[in-house]
Amino acid sequence: MHIAQQILFIVCAAAAVYFFTKKVKEMRRNILLGRDEDISDNKGQRWKNMILLALGQKKMFKRPVPALLHFAVYAGFIIINIEILEIFLDGITGAHRLFAPMLGGLYAFLVGFFEVLAVLVLVGCVIFLIRRNILKIRRLSMKELTGWPKNDANLILVTEVILMSLFLIMNTADLSLQQLGAEHYTRTEPFWVSGHLTGMFSGMSAGTLIAIERTCWWLHIIGVLLFLNYLPYSKHMHIILAFPNAYYSKLTAQGEAKNMKEIQNEVLYMMEPDKAPAATDAAPPRFGAKDATDLSWKNLLDAYSCTECGRCTSVCPANMTGKTLSPRKIMMDTRDRVEQIGKNINENKEFKDDGKSLLHDFITVEELRACTTCQACVEACPVMIDPLDIIMQLRRNLVMEESNAPQEWNMMFGNIENNMAPWKFSPDDRDAWVAEV
């Protein structure tokens, strides 16, 4: 019987790892569909950012209450999963609590610590469910979260509640079997939480307790394997992607816009034609971005790293005043478009033009024009996502390739070109007030 369980476990684990790896490779390919961008400078600062922002969740603590809850859930879930190593080895070898004889009293301490974290995760997830579904916090119940995004968040929270409950029930049944002296159940010290719950199983036979313990063990590990494979299809992939995204985050001043070398060159060649390169059949460079593949790979990594927490949208002045712009939706739309392109490639072996683009089909002109470029969304993001960079690139495409700008903008552009300022006054006229003084 043990051999059959070992074989079944190995098959389940191998299948889970295979499908997870396959999906992650597909996700990596999708991200690399973006333009190349060299982000290899200042490695020391980048490592520091990754530790403080992704691991330490430094920016989360601008809102202390949800930050503490999130940190408890995040840290608890990650640390508890260290125990998965023992469960994997138990499943492969057929042993039970393989590390208990090796670690002695330390083992009981570690599992007891894991149980306390499990309770914190369970309580945190229940509070998050209440905030989303009963209190309906504004940033967690906006229209872009209708449907799948809301269900995705609830599904993950419920799954974590179930996994933590299974973990505690498994340990409680295990301790009850130890008290009965059941064979194969290594004697350990009573754990910090389950040690107080054994009364719920008093009077049960060893056979019943073994059935409960084994059922919880299998459901727990299968749940973890399913969770692993669900991650790449969910916003919760940020658990992993937050680390590289924080590492590759922007180090320059937030208000500094990227210079467009192509525009500089066009002006240079107009002023000094002899410096223009020889004419070629190559396609002219695209100004700004129209589709997701015109963005850089870092922009696409941003989209996949988005937690959909809504902190960016909650501080966006345009959104506060009722405009359609939502920085969170910008990231969600970008990710949806990249996923759509990826599915197109999977079906056709290469991208087959589907007549759609990120600009217009996913993100509207009205949304882009509402942005004031105030950087509030960038400052608010806990994992250093930059929605503004995507907005700017799409807006540049609108203006420079589609000549699509409001009349007020066109007047300003003309004044800057002719008068070197947004106002309709020549430099001499602007200085006239000095003579009057």
Residue 282 pLDDT: 64
The DSSP secondary structure of 205-248, one letter per residue, reads -HHHHHHHHHHHHHHHHHHHHHHHHHGGGSGGGHHHHHHHHHHT
How big is the chain by its Cα radius of gyration, in Å? 28
Do 237 and 320 reside in the same domain of the chain?
A: no
Do 308 and 173 reside in the same domain of the chain?
A: no
| CATH number, residue 225 | 1.20.950
pLDDT surpassing 80 at residue 435? no
What's the rounded Cα separation, in Å, for the pair 121 and 153?
15
What's the rounded Cα separation, in Å, for the pair 312 and 306?
11
In a domain, 130, yes or no: yes
Query: Domain total for the chain?
Result: 2
In a domain, 106, yes or no: yes
Residue 1 pLDDT: 45
Do 215 and 82 reside in the same domain of the chain?
A: yes
Do 329 and 233 reside in the same domain of the chain?
A: no
Residue 433 pLDDT: 72
Do 202 and 294 reside in the same domain of the chain?
A: no
| CATH number, residue 375 | 1.10.1060
In a domain, 144, yes or no: yes
Do 242 and 300 reside in the same domain of the chain?
A: no
In a domain, 6, yes or no: yes
Q: pLDDT digits over 377-389, tens only?
A: 999 999 999 999 9
In a domain, 49, yes or no: no
Residue 115 pLDDT: 92
Which range of residues forms the domain containing residue 392?
A: 288-402
In a domain, 256, yes or no: no
Minimum mean pLDDT range among 69-83, 207-221, 324-338:
69-83
Do 303 and 193 reside in the same domain of the chain?
A: no
Do 344 and 233 reside in the same domain of the chain?
A: no
Do 210 and 120 reside in the same domain of the chain?
A: yes
In a domain, 240, yes or no: yes
pLDDT surpassing 70 at residue 162? yes
Q: Which residue matches tokens 């002219």?
A: 284
